[in-house]
Amino acid sequence: MEKLKMHTPDLAEENYKKLAALFPDAITETVDDEGNVVRAIDKDVLMQEINTQVVDDGQERYQFTWPDKGKSVVLANAPIAKTLRFEKEKSVGRDGTPGGTDSENVYIEGDNLDALKLLQETYLGKVKLIYIDPPYNTGSDFVYRDSFNIDQDEYEGNSGQTDEDGNQLVQNLESNGRFHTDWLNMIYPRLKIAKDLLSNDGAVFISIDNCEFENLTKICNEVFGAGNFVDCITWNTRVPKNDNKGLGNIHQYILVYVKDKDANRQFTMQKDGIEDVFALCEDLKRRKVPIPKAEKELKAFYKKNNYDRGITLYNSLDNNYQPWGKINMSWPNSDTFGPTYDVLHPATHKPTKKPDRGWRWNLQTFESHLDYGHTVKRYDGSYVCGDIWFAKDENTQPSSIKYLCDVGKMLLRTVVSLKSDGGMEVEKLFGGKSIFSNPKPTALIQLLINALEEKDEIIFDFFSGSATTAHAAMRLNAEDGGRRKFILVQLPEITDEKSEAYKAGYKTICEIGEERIRRAGKEVKEETGADIDYGFRCFKVDSSNMKDVYYRPADIGQMNLDDYMDNIKEDRTPEDLLIQVMLDLGVQLSSKVELTEIGGKKVFSVEDGYLIACFDKDVTEDVVTEIAKRHPFYFVSRDSSMASDSVAANFEEIFKTYSPETVRKVL
């Protein structure tokens, strides 16, 4: 059986292996400054392999850099030996039941760099949308300060537990000599890892303001690729923020990047006012207003609200009060000509007026939209034949008919005007108490999430704050029947003792976010009654379940062996072990987990037997045989689980007999 590594991947090591596989002749050895033989890359051989004669020596080249950037890259690639531990008492079931474990949503308490590393294999290429609202570095924000004084040996030596040496949240004052540097070192490794979580057609939205806009753009160009930059959305918050520069700032930015521009991802939004238009049409239908009068009311409504032509064009109503518009059928290109043919009027049977530059459609397409057998004469004397509109005689060029409901979306605009009322939303949920400063409004996050056509994607927010993203996802799912799942990460930052949040009993930002999801889920359920997932599974980042002996058995002295008869920490449960195993094997945290008994032993079945795990001791051959007969893809047990040497000796033979394809691993 193979031993589980029980730590995140060493990305630098993996990159080295990829290079060695591509160019094995470029791999060599040299001696470092201390006389140690170390591996190296022969640049001359590599230059020959890739057919280049120029090596950039770092002089006078275009680049974006800052102090400790190289260490920031190392930090992103370095492995950690940590895990996630399930917090059942904080979790909420799919139906909103406290302590439920069946939700597919995930909330993680802890440093988001650790969380990203723990999730990077499990969710590699599986996230459709990342939205983050990181600290803006305005001079009073808190930022993560990561220690760069930890080399690879220290990572392995302390099982990746670096919190006491760094990885803390500190206030980044403008007086700090590393004001921009600390912020850049914070955001860079997190974005670098987050990119790998995106699917090929995935996208990332990042909120920011003027302070770090330029630097963030340069970082994103480097991490995601300048060619994958989509655009920058300017959000008009409508609420001026007066500053000392003599202007009232009423905007923030949202940078938009895609994982791969060749995926041709498009972002859409509902046309402004479309819901109000449909509401009016429903009211007209309910009141049975005659169509001529109803159309006048609709046009007056358009004029009053000054809507864009993308809506006002649709000012006619059919007998079911559905708005439609007339679309010009002229050839659109002024430099060329379209086809020319006769189109007969349904009443006069004479050829209608032709466009000067020809028709937009060829004859076959035009005829497929015509239906002379079902001609309807309207109250104004015009005619509707299938999807084509004709005037009362042949002297007017016919038009195609398009319904507003079929063109209700347009490309997401780069200027968005929405009230910055996120604080009021949170106050309402928490009984009028102002417990969180400047949360984003759910309408803004809904707009961004809804810009993707898919309704069952994973949405990831690793600067969760008050959990607006979770609130927005649940509300959207309730509105359109979607099955979007969210993963949120938030550091358990301590609330100020003078704050309303602290006085209300919320000692950390995580407690605020978790409670908001509970309250928002209850609110959405009461308002809509929709059958969606209202819950979340709560996890916290913690040290590995394994003792040091698991990672460095050669360093444990003979005198300490009695202390290491078991390589698992005493305070860890089988459930803790299962979560770390799932992360190690790339099994999603939202997977269905069932607990059963086989031969009196506690057995976990994940995703209907895809993974089966048993961490009990004294496991007999009968138990092993029953598990093998269930044909799991993975089976995991403790190294010391077998009841006797005989069972251990027969273990492999049992699986070879009943389920040879099962991957067997131990810890």
Q: Does the pLDDT value for residue 166 go beyond 50?
A: no
* 108 band by pLDDT with thresholds 50, 70 and 90: very high
Write down the pLDDT at residue 191: 97
Of 583, 515, 457, 504, the residue nearest 202 (C-alpha): 457
Write down the pLDDT at residue 137: 78
Write down the pLDDT at residue 71: 87
Write down the pLDDT at residue 623: 94
Write down the pLDDT at residue 178: 67
Cα 245 versus chain centre, distance: 36
Instruction: Identify any residues that bridge with 634 across adjacent strands, giving them in sequence order.
Output: 611, 663
Q: What is the pLDDT of residues 352-378, one digit of tens each?
A: 999 999 999 999 999 999 999 999 999
Write down the pLDDT at residue 644: 86
What does the block give as tokens for 322? 């559905």
Least confident of 31-45, 176-190, 225-239: 31-45
Place of tokens 């051959």: 621
Across the range 575-600, mean pLDDT stands at 95
Q: What is the pLDDT of residues 485-512, one digit of tens each?
A: 999 999 999 999 999 999 999 999 999 9
Could you tell me if 491 and 462 are in contact, meaning their C-beta atoms sit under 8 angstroms apart?
A: no
Q: Domains of the chain (ranges plus CATH)?
A: 7-63 (no CATH), 76-267+412-542 (3.40.50.150), 274-410 (no CATH), 554-666 (no CATH)
Q: Does the pLDDT value for residue 156 go beyond 60?
A: no
Gap between the Cα atoms of 79 and 153, Å rounded: 11
Gap between the Cα atoms of 109 and 99, Å rounded: 17
Task: Return the biggest CA–CA distance within the chain.
Answer: 107
Per DSSP, which regions of 120-261 are E strands?
A: 127-132, 142-145, 168-171, 198-208, 229-242, 248-258
Across the range 595-624, mean pLDDT stands at 94
Q: What is the pLDDT of residues 523-582, one digit of tens each?
A: 999 999 999 999 999 999 999 998 876 666 555 555 455 555 578 899 999 999 999 999
Q: Does the pLDDT value for residue 296 go beyond 90?
A: yes
Provide the mean pLDDT of the chain.
Answer: 88
Could you tell me if 517 and 536 are in contact, meaning their C-beta atoms sit under 8 angstroms apart?
A: yes
Of 524, 466, 523, the residue nearest 490 (C-alpha): 466
Across the range 8-34, mean pLDDT stands at 79
Amino acid at site 148? F
Gap between the Cα atoms of 571 and 259, Å rounded: 41
Q: Does the pLDDT value for residue 165 go beyond 50?
A: no
User: Of how many residues is the chain composed?
Assistant: 667
H/E segment holding residue 259: none
* 153 band by pLDDT with thresholds 50, 70 and 90: very low
Across the range 135-145, mean pLDDT stands at 65
Gap between the Cα atoms of 297 and 313, Å rounded: 14
SS3 sequence of 538-556: EEEEEECCECHHHHCHHHC
Q: Does the pLDDT value for residue 141 go beyond 80?
A: no
DSSP state of 438: S
Gap between the Cα atoms of 171 and 174, Å rounded: 10
Q: Does the pLDDT value for residue 48 go beyond 90?
A: no
Could you tell me if 502 and 496 are in contact, meaning their C-beta atoms sit under 8 angstroms apart?
A: yes
Of 188, 189, 172, 171, the residue nearest 180 (C-alpha): 172
Q: Does the pLDDT value for residue 181 go beyond 90?
A: no
What does the block give as tokens for 386? 């299938």
Could you tell me if 1 and 647 are in contact, meaning their C-beta atoms sit under 8 angstroms apart?
A: no
Q: What is the pLDDT of residues 614-643, one digit of tens each?
A: 999 999 999 999 999 999 999 999 888 888
What are the φ and ψ backbone dihedral angles of 579, each rounded to 5 degrees?
Answer: -60, -45
What does the block give as tokens for 168? 């803390």
Could you tell me if 483 and 153 are in contact, meaning their C-beta atoms sit under 8 angstroms apart?
A: no
Amino acid at site 624? V
Write down the pLDDT at residue 158: 34
Write down the pLDDT at residue 530: 96
What does the block give as tokens for 40? 């190296």
Q: Is the alpha carbon torsion for 300, 303, 306, 311 positive or negative?
A: positive
Q: What is the pLDDT of residues 241-275, one digit of tens each?
A: 766 677 888 899 999 999 999 999 999 999 888 99
Write down the pLDDT at residue 52: 63
Write down the pLDDT at residue 663: 95
Amino acid at site 5? K
Place of tokens 């007339």: 326
Of 13, 56, 416, the residue nearest 205 (C-alpha): 416
pTM score of the predicted model: 0.84
What are the φ and ψ backbone dihedral angles of 526, each rounded to 5 degrees?
Answer: -65, -35
Write down the pLDDT at residue 148: 43
Of 566, 115, 316, the residue nearest 106 (C-alpha): 115
Residue 310 sits at the vertex; the CA angle it makes with 307 and 314, to the nearest 5 degrees, is 90
Q: Does the pLDDT value for residue 454 go beyond 70?
A: yes
Q: Does the pLDDT value for residue 145 go beyond 80?
A: no
Q: Does the pLDDT value for residue 460 go beyond 90?
A: yes
Could you tell me if 103 and 217 are in contact, meaning their C-beta atoms sit under 8 angstroms apart?
A: no
Helix axes 11-22, 69-77, angle to 10 degrees: 90
Q: Does the pLDDT value for residue 159 go beyond 50?
A: no
Write down the pLDDT at residue 146: 53
* 163 band by pLDDT with thresholds 50, 70 and 90: very low
* 138 band by pLDDT with thresholds 50, 70 and 90: low
